[in-house]
Chain A
Amino acid sequence: MIAKEYTITAPQGLHARPATTLIRLTKSFKSSISLKKADKVVRLNSMLNILSMGIKGGENISILIEGDDEISAADAIDQFFKEQLKDL
């Protein structure tokens, strides 16, 4: 399993559009991918799961990836949080 921590770079946090982009991204991998904030963990298979976490800009979250393609999934998610998210 791969676990990575990120700080949310989008000032408005993980709102509807970035959450949707993230769901579309995770759907392209077979691995089971979850998001963790504090003690709460949700599967990244639903935009509403992400929105229910109320993730604001500047907050820290973790992404947990487990499966056959976890390395390529981790690379794609890394790019999302480090490069894409700030513009969404």
Chain B
Amino acid sequence: MRKYLIATHGTFSAGVKSSLEMIIGITENVFIIQAYVDGNTVIENEIKAVLEQVGDNDELIIFSDILGGSVTNQLLQQSVKLNVHIVSGFNLPLLIDVLLSDADTPANEVIESAIINAKEQMVYVNKLINSESR
């Protein structure tokens, strides 16, 4: 089974999950980590708690907020396994594309395709409108 973890500094992950549920409905197998909201400086236990729910036959796709940030770094230290995929710098379109993807398509293909599409969602809209109206 494919499972997902959204891990961010603070409550961003909970907010993103709320947006996901508004757009695609209730999402199963989506865990969140809201790093440091309890005053701790590490998220080792939170990561362990999620990994304990991922079996050898499962896949875990992790979405973290910042490449090089402490959340991503800790995930990397604890989660480097064949069945774990980490994507940093996610946005909401990327999450939606991955969560709605076909479970039969390999995770690496799903992720690579979704990243290409999701990057196109980050647009300076004023510039786009100006270029279209010319």
CA distance A51 to B23 in the complex (A): 13
Instruction: Using CB atoms, name the residue of chain B closest to A24.
Output: B100
Known contacts A48-B120, A48-B121; A23/B100 CB under 8 A: yes
CA distance A47 to B100 in the complex (A): 8
CB-defined contacts of A16 to chain B, threshold 8 Å: 23, 96
Instruction: Using CB atoms, name the residue of chain B closest to A27.
Output: B102
Give, as a whole number of angstroms, the nearest-CB distance from B122 to chain A: 12
Task: Flag whether A4 is at the interface (Cβ < 8 A).
Answer: no
Contact partner, B113, options A23, A46, A51, Cβ 8 Å = A46
Task: Flag whether A49 is at the interface (Cβ < 8 A).
Answer: yes
CB-defined contacts of B23 to chain A, threshold 8 Å: 16-17, 20
Contact partner, B121, options A20, A24, A27, A51, Cβ 8 Å = A51
> Which residues does B use to contact A, with CB under 8 Å?
22-24, 93, 96-97, 100-102, 113-114, 117-118, 120-121
New A-B pairs, 20, CB < 8 Å, besides A24-B24, A45-B102: A16-B96, A17-B22, A17-B23, A20-B23, A20-B24, A20-B100, A24-B100, A46-B100, A47-B96, A47-B97, A48-B93, A48-B96, A48-B97, A48-B114, A48-B117, A48-B120, A48-B121, A49-B117, A51-B121, A52-B117
